[in-house]
Chain A
Amino acid sequence: MTDITKTDVLIVGAGPVGLFAVFELGLFDMKCHLIDILDRPGGQCAELYPEKPIYDIPGWPSISAQGLVDKLLEQIAPFKPDFTYNRMVSSLEKLEDGGFRVTTDENEVFEAKVVVIAAGGGSFQPKRPPIPGIEPYEGKSVFYSVRRMEDFRGHDLVIVGGGDSALDWTLNLQPVAKSVTLVHRRPEFRAAPDSVNKMYAMQEMKQLAFRVGQVTGLAGADGKLSSAVIKGPDGDVEVPCTRMLPFFGLTMKLGPIAEWGLNLHENLIPVDTEKFQTSVPGIFAVGDINWYPGKLKLILSGFHEVALMAQAAKRIISPGERIVFQYTTSSTSLQKKLGVVET
């Protein structure tokens, strides 16, 4: 029997809206656990535009997207949320006692009284690289992440890309693979200079090959790769290749959410604007993933949504308890929760 992690509220997605949900739920004493497929919090802000300034966060004339994420983490710290990263929430089922069971792609099981879907534009997944005819090789010879380094032992490995993932795996898999060829369309990289220098040093010593170019074709049969064609400045070369790791960044895909039995509206989850509840009572949807008349995909709208959602969630978790409206400026009980007054 697998261990079951229990929590009051399970939040799918640790983007800015999922993070602020922890605050609003925390003010009502609800404990949260967040799951995200990324390896860190922040959703789009952290993954797509960490250094860009945002100008429409109330009270912040300008704040970088990563700066906002850092501030949110500081703000929710008193509520001690739990995080599970690098996991995709794959299923969501209703339990007989009214709660929910959530399972990840690695079969971890969570049970919660309330589920909040703050999944934004969907889960971040690796982009399929622009290589014609790649589909039949995916999952057999072409992989978008490294789960076990052993899977690459003794293989002719081609790694495509110019960021940190491409460089890190080039360096880490070099001792394991039979051969490593790194392919990038130009000699400049978006990776840590230290890794780039190491890679060039290993190339000098003929421990790996770096080729400037783009992969334009693949050869093999039944999902088993045998070689790759690289178009470079001096024309096409064919290199032996039995495993390929392309790193072309991430894109957002709705993913398994479509199979959770919720009503959808053009890949978004319709909610009411009083509770931000989905078609299944006890499951809420906030932030970019939801839809209602007039919806705007703004961080500020998501923040408003979680404040109202928290009231409705409290009514489910503590039925019959009176909900008192309080300000954080003047309520000692809220300030105790925030740890800003002596308890």
Chain B
Amino acid sequence: MTKLTFIAHDGTHFDMDAENGSTVMENAIRNAVPGIEAECGGACACATCHVYVDEAWTALVGEPEAMEEDMLDFAYDVQPNSRLSCQIKVRDALDGLVVRVPARQG
């Protein structure tokens, strides 16, 4: 199990154990993290699962692929550490990952 933390826009922490291979978005939905909508169910087609990856983790999490980068155009207040959480897969190396939920989705 890999530990994963979402910090909601109001500062509330949501800590959870995530299964390797699941997406960061799926864990948010399972744990009802406010502010992650995921309208398209993880198809990289809606940009409503936007998160900011904590600065300490950006290098490990990596850069979005072209399709995700295109979709990020539709997200609100995109930052260099913006990612769509349905495109990040949980793995051992990400144990302890922290992501922040933006003020609003798309």
Chain A interface (Cβ < 8 Å from any Cβ of B): 48-49, 52, 127, 130, 161-163, 184-186, 188, 190, 214, 248-249, 251
Contact = CB atoms under 8 A, between A and B. Distances in A.
Contacts of B74: 127, 248-249
B78 A48 contact: no
Given A48-B40, A188-B69, A190-B73, A214 B78 contact: yes
Question: In the complex, which range does the number of interface residues on chain B fall in?
Answer: 10 to 19
Contact of B77 (A48, A190, A214, A251): A214
B73 A185 contact: yes
15 contacts: A48-B40, A49-B43, A52-B43, A127-B74, A127-B106, A130-B76, A130-B106, A161-B73, A162-B73, A163-B73, A185-B78, A190-B70, A248-B74, A248-B106, A251-B106
Nearest to B66: A188
For the residues of A in contact with B, the DSSP-based class is loop
Interface of B: 40, 43, 45-46, 69-70, 72-78, 104, 106
Nearest to B47: A249
A267 to B, nearest CB: 14
Nearest to A52: B43
Contacts of B73: 161-163, 184-186, 190, 248-249
**Shortest beta-carbon contacts, A-B, top 8:** A130-B76, A190-B70, A249-B74, A48-B45, A162-B73, A49-B45, A248-B74, A185-B78
Nearest to A121: B39
Contacts of A184: 73
B29 to A, nearest CB: 16
Contacts, number: 37
Nearest to B46: A48
A190 B45 CA distance: 14
B40 A130 contact: no
A185 B50 CA distance: 16
Given A48-B40, A48-B45, A49-B45, A130 B77 contact: yes
Contacts of A163: 73
B5 to A, nearest CB: 25
Contacts of A251: 106
Contacts of B46: 48
A161 B70 CA distance: 11
A49 B39 CA distance: 13
A130 B40 CA distance: 19
